[in-house]
Amino acid sequence: MDRIAKFLAYEGRVSLICANTTQLIEEIRKLHDLTPTTTAVLGRFSTISGMMGFTEIKEKDDFLSIQLNGKGPVGTLVSIVRREEETSKIKVSIDNPYVELPLKSNGKLDVGGAVGTNGFLNIINKNEITDSNYTGLVPLVSGEIAEDFTEYFAKSKQKPTVVALGVLVNKDGVKASGGYMIQLMPDATEEDIVNIEKALEKAPAISEMIDKNKSLEEIAKIVTGDENVLILAQELSLKYECDCTRERFERGLISLGKDELSKIIEEDEMADTVCHFCNKKYHFSKEDLEKLLKEIK
């Protein structure tokens, strides 16, 4: 079962969030009809997006809009993250879900090759009511996603962070998926850092630990090297939710402008739109489109 929990290590000088996202990523794999390669790509991206709902969203009505594009074959990855109390709600999209690359020489799925490295990670933290926003933009490091987010936290947020993400895929789908984020508080000591580095050297991959049914608390102890981690919150959850509406697609059609919309009415006599986050279809008949056309001044 999916779980997500927050911990403190080294007497509060280090914070940590750990997630088992196996069910969520299987749900996303089916929804977007992903290949093994794009399951790993979108699985890693969705896991970190979901965890950031708990570390980055502090105010009510805040949401995150995350875009990652490395000019690789999968195109742009997008996630929108909202937070409702103890639940982080995400929706994600990928330009090309059908990309499949040969395994790398180490036997792993080629996430970096699919994402590409010639691009940016762009994260916008926005408030729906006040419209205030914070934008962080960093060039990609490797396209492997975890390293790219680590760079974001270091460069854009000045917050030393270790991000680890992993998805195990077999022929039936997602076997194990998860991730963790370790963040150093300002009072973290050199000794804490050395201890964590030593622990991480020995720690198995996150997907492997989840596959072996290790609990999040066990994982927290393994990756920090602190036997006395403190559980801060363990009733957290991650949920896939799309909030698209017909009205939003109407606004999209109106925003095409008078000329473009008239052309669609003349040539196609209807429009079928699809939500990239949930694949829901919205059909607009000729009459619907003519009504929208009248709304354009």
- Which residues of the chain form contacts with Zn ion (CB under 5 A)? 242, 244, 275, 277-278, 280
Shortest Å, Cβ 24 to Zn ion: 16
Residue number with CB closer to Zn ion (63 or 152): 63
Residue number with CB closer to Zn ion (40 or 81): 81
Are the CB atoms for 180 and 19 separated by under 8 Å? yes
Distances (CA, A) of 217 to 4, 84, 177, 234: 10, 24, 16, 9
Measured distance CA(81)–CA(55) in Å, rounded: 12
Shortest Å, Cβ 280 to Zn ion: 5
Residue number with CB closer to Zn ion (63 or 277): 277
The H or E element spanning position 22 is helix 22-32
Residue number with CB closer to Zn ion (49 or 207): 49
Shortest Å, Cβ 274 to Zn ion: 9
Shortest Å, Cβ 256 to Zn ion: 19
Residue number with CB closer to Zn ion (65 or 161): 65
Shortest Å, Cβ 297 to Zn ion: 29
